[in-house]
Amino acid sequence: QVQLVESGGGSVQPGGSLKLSCEASGVTLDTYAVGWFRQAPGQEREGVSCIASSDESAFYRTSVKDRFTIHRDKAKNTVYLQMNNLQPEDTAVYYCATSGFANVVVCGLNQFGYDNWGQGTQVTVSS
């Protein structure tokens, strides 16, 4: 059974950094695209970043480009989201998810392309 566990969330001041982890069991993450999504209170879930199978490509939403970096550690079967220069608008619960199909060369931020989801980790940015 596939299980994804996010960790690394917390509370930081604007301009701070956090590194989120998405550790998988029951699946070899390198075979699938992995996406990071977030949902703020009262808002719809939105895609933040994704990395394609075998690290073929990565994609970021415009508002986080140049601040967030997604990368994969194959040995640890974990995907990370390094978040720098965090802003209050980044406050949300962050989720990771794996694509519904293997060998995805180009990933996307449409949540309907992802099947397995973690439980989420809270990120709060405030002064």
Mind listing the pLDDT tens digit of every residue in the chain (127 residues)?
889 999 999 999 999 999 999 999 999 999 999 999 999 999 999 999 999 998 889 999 999 999 999 999 999 999 999 999 999 999 999 999 999 888 888 899 999 999 999 999 999 999 9
CA-based R_g, the chain, Å: 13
Query: Phi first, then psi: what are they for 95, rounded to 5°?
Result: -125, 145
Structure tokens of 54? 């075998």
C-beta separation of 30 from 72 below 8 A: yes
Pairing between β-strand 32-39 and β-strand 92-102 as defined by DSSP bridges = antiparallel
